[in-house]
Structure 1
Amino acid sequence: MGKIVFIMDVEEGHILPTFTLAQSLKDRGHEVLYLSIADNEVFVRKQGFDFYPIFLDKYPKGYREAYKRRNANIPGTATSNDTHIWEIAEGAYDELIASLKADLFIVSTFLRIDMLALYYRYGISPVVFTPYLRDAGVTTAIDCMDEFMKAPGEESMKFIEFLLSSGAVFSTLKDLVQPFDTFCELVACPRELEIATDHIPPNIHHIGPSVRTESGQGDHLPLDKIKGNRKLIYASMGSQAISYKYVCRSFFQKMIDVMKDIELSDYHLVLSVGPEFDEMTFSLVPENVTVVRWISQIEVLKYAVLAITHGGMGTIKECIYYGVPMIVLPLSRDQPSNAVRVQHHRLGLSAPIHGLTGSLLYSLIMDVLNSVEIGENIHKMKTIFQYKQASCPGADIVEHLLMKA
């Protein structure tokens, strides 16, 4: 049996997909533990895994929410204060690597600098864990070069000096990141959701949807009583409501107003608005709308006939897994590409959230609800997702790597 360490970044949405793989490995007798920022400790331990907080001085408790608010206009855009390049260059991983004596490291695709340190300083070839689908032609190596170009010059130079002092040999930035083309990469999504598959290199493996199947945290609602004989519609912008407060507030009010239409009187909307808002924020909420700050998305999707979402990959996968057609209103990051995939496979429809009108929103809702094609396609993709979730091919790949180590 092996000792497997997951090193994960700031965001809980990037850790969630790892739990399916981690639990499968634990069930097979392997020891599994996590390294991440302190904010993720309770989250991970609740899943039954050991946890070691890292970079505590850099990322104290409460860091994640402050990060989201600081980068409110461009979520995920790191400033020099959001990186730990300097800490890595000062040898922050030295003691951990020596004490853990792990057989395999599975590392978030967003921790590219960390992976280079593992490879060049400690002789470790990490397994890359990617919780989303990349656009054609984009690789971890390309992302890493882009990260170096954006980092402050003094940090990049400090890190390069650190690698050279560790015995690394490279002459160009392209040479420096070349090892990413050889690392095994696990993509937490079925290959069938890709638009084109001819660009996928052989070191990349799609391991299934890796979705949650247990209820999460949030307000408890007696959904069967709320909806009565009505069909359930679910709408949420997830954690993006913090970063796009005014855009999301406008959308939420439009969604509430649309539900007043007579054609939707047989439907009930559960509207999850996040911690920034509550029901008192919005005007004239009809009786077929329930506004909550947070709810277990899994529980709602088990009932829903339609989900309206910002298009985060986690939510899209959960919608497919539970057979719920979608309307995707992307905000940023990979969400526009995810919206294209949803439309390409006819699993729902999408539109820009900026400038969205109530009439367009109403039309999208009615089109999806009345589409036989979308209903059939979501059912077919649901079957694929549920089969691959049950088979968990990622555990087989990891065990093969352990045997080779």
Structure 2
Amino acid sequence: MARVLVVMMPAEGHINPSLGLIKELVENGDEVVYCCTEKYRTKIEQIGAQFKAYSFTEATLLNDPDMKPFEIKHPYQFIYMVLKHIIQRFIPDILKLIENETYDYLIFDSLIGWGGQILGKKLGIPTVCSTTTFVFVEPLGSDNDLEEDDEEVKRLYNGIMELSQQLAAQFNVAVPSLAELAKHAGQLKIVYTSRYFQPMGDKLDDSFVFTGPSIVPRMDAPAFAYEPLHAPYKQTVYISMGTILNKDLDFYKLCFTAFHDLPIQFILSSGKDTDLEPLADLIPDNFIIRPYLPQLEVLQRVDAFLTHTGMNSTSEALYYNVPLIMLPLTSDQPRVASRVQELGAGVIVDKNNLTPEVLRNAVLEVLSNASYREQAGVIGETLREAGGYKQAAAAIGSFLGNRPLSATSRLHI
């Protein structure tokens, strides 16, 4: 069978969607080598893949201010970030990790962009892009208001030209065009949503395969007692701001103020590294708080989800027909939230106009209006019908066709 190289960004929202696919490939007999930071070794090895760790650590990335999520106001900002802070850092490290090794095809994170094409070219193998958010039919940031003659835009453009030429020379590949840098890389793109949920999905060609979210049990998920749910309360709301943006104590305090007297059970995932001790005396009786929760299991038992609208969390909620109260903060989250609201499966609350009353009214609106759950169910059906990780594995098999495997040349440095 095939020997597969997988290169992923070290973030739960990028890794979790890939787990079902990787497990399926392993069970089908493929040998999978998965590259990420040491933090994720156990999670990857539990599904049967081999693991290789980058030379840099999780802390190195999280402490880099240029790797923090930010609002994209022009496409050049995103392209420059990928070139300078991902490709320039990741690709040399990956090439060193796999020096003199042989692979049959590559699966790479969409955030690596053109870097995936570099790896494919160096190895002489087909490339599959793992796309964990919406496809950007139009370049990310193109709907914002930075003008082409803005000094910041000019600086970014010059930086992109210089970096792309430098990296092309370093890796002995052709210099990419600006259009090539802006588009989604990979010969095959696995997209973990449905074509229905994808904005302008009808404009994307067949190289984009929509498989829906990859729903598989998570070996590292903690146990959680479900018996208290809905007793004495009739409705339950789950609150989670993901794994990166979950340390805002002011937001948690606002939730306690907004919801303390509602006859609703609230379940809050506060984050493994979040210290809630300063708020201990403010926690209402109708709150259950845990540092980390088995999100897939929780979502099957709740009536609504208050979320930052990360693509992974949003998809998992909709997969289980759960309507959303959305607080998009950064990156692609406003775009995801806008699509959910457009399709009638949730409401958006403005991060710049956030008060206890605004938050409370949004939660009550979603819980009291059955149309939100109905529309979440419409999206959820398309996500479930997309086929999940089995469809993703089948699409890769079809893409590879009858190409001879285990006969590739060694890495060309």
The separation in 2 between residues aligned to 1:147 and 1:45, in whole angstroms, is 43
Determine the structure 2 residue equivalent to 1:137.
138
The separation in 2 between residues aligned to 1:60 and 1:182, in whole angstroms, is 26
The separation in 1 between residues aligned to 2:231 and 2:48, in whole angstroms, is 37
The separation in 1 between residues aligned to 2:12 and 2:389, in whole angstroms, is 24
Q: Which residue identity is paired with 2:128?
A: V
Determine the structure 2 residue equivalent to 1:222.
225
Determine the structure 2 residue equivalent to 1:4.
4
The separation in 1 between residues aligned to 2:379 and 2:314, in whole angstroms, is 12
The separation in 2 between residues aligned to 1:190 and 1:371, in whole angstroms, is 25
- Aligned to 1:386, the other structure's residue is in SS state helix
Q: 1:186 to 1:84 in 2, by over 3 A?
A: closer
Of 181, 187, 191, the match for 1:187:
191
Instruction: State the 1:343 CA deviation.
Output: 0.6
The separation in 1 between residues aligned to 2:8 and 2:58, in whole angstroms, is 16
- Aligned to 2:306, the other structure's residue is in SS state strand
Mapping 1:221-300, distance limit 5 Å: 221-225=224-228, 227-230=230-233, 231-241=235-245, 245=247, 248-261=248-261, 264-265=262-263, 267-274=264-271, 275-278=273-276, 280-281=278-279, 283-300=281-298
Mapping 1:297-336, distance limit 5 Å: 297-336=295-334
The separation in 2 between residues aligned to 1:273 and 1:307, in whole angstroms, is 14
Q: Is the 8 A contact 2:211 2:388 kept in 1?
A: no
- Aligned to 1:327, the other structure's residue is in SS state strand
The separation in 1 between residues aligned to 2:362 and 2:219, in whole angstroms, is 29
Q: Deviations over 1:275-318 (max 9, x none)?
A: 22325425532211122222221232121111100000110111
The separation in 1 between residues aligned to 2:5 and 2:155, in whole angstroms, is 24
Q: 1:110 to 1:282 in 2, by over 3 A?
A: same
The separation in 1 between residues aligned to 2:300 and 2:68, in whole angstroms, is 31
- Ranked by relative contact order (alpha carbons within 8 Å, sequence separation 6 or more), the top structure is 2
Q: Deviations over 1:96-130 (max 9, x none)?
A: 1531x221111111112432322443333311111
Q: Which residue identity is paired with 1:332?
A: T
Q: Which residue identity is paired with 1:396?
A: A
The separation in 2 between residues aligned to 1:119 and 1:286, in whole angstroms, is 53
Q: Is the 8 A contact 1:12 1:40 kept in 2?
A: no
Mapping 1:76-225, distance limit 5 Å: 82-83=85-86, 85=88, 88=91, 93=95, 96=98, 98-99=100-101, 101-138=102-139, 149=157, 156-163=164-171, 166=172, 168-170=173-175, 173-174=177-178, 177=181, 183-214=187-218, 216-218=220-222, 220-225=223-228
Deviates more, 1:389-398 or 1:21-30: 389-398
Instruction: State the 1:46 CA deviation.
Output: 2.5
Q: Is the 8 A contact 2:129 2:185 kept in 1?
A: no
- Aligned to 2:386, the other structure's residue is in SS state helix
Q: Normalising by the residue count of structure 1, what TM-score does the alignment of the two structures yield?
A: 0.82
Q: 1:175 to 1:287 in 2, by over 3 A?
A: closer
Determine the structure 2 residue equivalent to 1:143.
none
The separation in 2 between residues aligned to 1:198 and 1:320, in whole angstroms, is 21
Runs of 4+ in 1 over 6 A off after TM superposition: none
Q: Deviations over 1:75-95 (max 9, x none)?
A: 998599844526746x86167
Instruction: State the 1:154 CA deviation.
Output: 6.7
Instruction: State the 1:268 CA deviation.
Output: 0.8
Determine the structure 2 residue equivalent to 1:18.
18
Q: Which runs of 5+ in 2 are unaligned?
A: 73-77, 141-153, 404-413
Determine the structure 1 residue equivalent to 2:410.
none
The separation in 2 between residues aligned to 1:175 and 1:136, in whole angstroms, is 12
The separation in 2 between residues aligned to 1:185 and 1:13, in whole angstroms, is 17
Q: Which residue identity is paired with 1:228?
A: A
Q: Deviations over 1:216-249 (max 9, x none)?
A: 434x44231255232221111112335xx4xx32
The separation in 1 between residues aligned to 2:383 and 2:301, in whole angstroms, is 18
Q: Which runs of 5+ in 1 are unaligned?
A: 140-145
Q: Which residue identity is paired with 2:242?
A: G
Q: Which residue identity is paired with 2:70?
A: I
The separation in 2 between residues aligned to 1:346 and 1:189, in whole angstroms, is 17
Q: Is the 8 A contact 2:26 2:48 kept in 1?
A: no
Q: Is the 8 A contact 1:279 1:292 kept in 2?
A: no
Q: Deviations over 1:382-405 (max 9, x none)?
A: 233233346732111111123243
The separation in 2 between residues aligned to 1:151 and 1:296, in whole angstroms, is 43
The separation in 2 between residues aligned to 1:150 and 1:202, in whole angstroms, is 34
Q: Is the 8 A contact 1:269 1:288 kept in 2?
A: yes
Determine the structure 2 residue equivalent to 1:338.
336
Q: 1:215 to 1:384 in 2, by over 3 A?
A: farther
- Aligned to 1:192, the other structure's residue is in SS state coil
Q: Deviations over 1:129-173 (max 9, x none)?
A: 11010343238xxxxxx998586887544312124xx3x445x63
Q: 1:325 to 1:176 in 2, by over 3 A?
A: closer
Mapping 1:367-378, distance limit 5 Å: 367-378=365-376
Q: Which residue identity is paired with 1:392?
A: K
Q: Deviations over 1:31-69 (max 9, x none)?
A: 222122323222211233211123x1xx136434434x7
- Aligned to 1:198, the other structure's residue is in SS state helix
Q: Percent identity?
A: 21
Q: Normalising by the residue count of structure 2, what TM-score does the alignment of the two structures yield?
A: 0.81
Q: Is the 8 A contact 1:127 1:183 kept in 2?
A: yes
Instruction: State the 1:345 CA deviation.
Output: 1.3
- Aligned to 2:227, the other structure's residue is in SS state helix
Q: Deviations over 1:313-343 (max 9, x none)?
A: 1101110122211111000011001101111
